[in-house]
Amino acid sequence: MNPRLRRIYSKCVVEVERGTLSDLVNDRYDYLMIDLASITYGLRDPRTFLMNVRLALDYDYLRPSVTFVIDYSRPEHKAVAESRVKWLRELGLDYILAEDEPAEVRAARECLRRGRCIVLSRDYDPLTVMDEMIQPIKITERAWINRKITINKECLNNYLKEKEN
């Protein structure tokens, strides 16, 4: 998403709910698509994050079926993607390679095909495809707080019309 459009989206986002990931997804969604690069950006040890997801699934703390979506559309993404794929395979976690579009858009399109599905991403791009998503507010090595958000389409349309004039 280009920076100008991101600023517009940020003005029109509506927070629906706030809490831990399990509070926001368990018993509400059958599928959770995670934009891996977006979520692990800035973490010192992305592999530890993946191990924690594996443990959360194993101990039924996180109940939806989790699929990670990995950017694979550009050469600069492929080098990082290979190590992430290796980790995901070692941990027995599902993944999809986003080869023709950004991972967050691919995740949203995949969600629409599955039903009772939501995307976890830092980016607003899933809201260009679907009506709601989960966005982390704060991620640390030990805990994270998330918010379920939607986009106010009337607000978005007003800003887009202003930009056209």
What are the residue boundaries of the structural domains of the chain, listed by start? 3-156
Which SS3 state, helix, strand or coil, does residue 20 take?
Answer: coil
pLDDT for the residue 134: 97
- Other beta carbons less than 10 A from residue 35's beta carbon: 28
pLDDT of residue 126: 97
pLDDT along the chain (165 residues), means of 10: 89 95 96 94 87 95 97 78 93 96 95 96 95 85 83 91 72
HSE (CB half, 13 Å, CA atoms) of 48? 10
CA distances from 21 to 17, 27, 52, 150 (A): 11, 12, 13, 16
Strands (E), the chain: 13-19, 31-35, 65-71, 94-98, 117-120, 132-139, 144-151
Spatial distance between the Cα atoms of 39 and 60, rounded to a whole number of angstroms: 21
CATH classification of 3-156, choosing from 1.20.1630, 3.40.50, 3.30.1360, 3.90.550? 3.40.50
Nearest to 84 by CA among 120, 51, 47: 47
Q: Phi first, then psi: what are they for 149, rounded to 5°? A: -130, 160
User: What pLDDT is recorded for position 72?
Assistant: 87
Q: pTM for the full model?
A: 0.92
Tokens 């699929």 sit on residue:
67
At 143 the pLDDT is 66
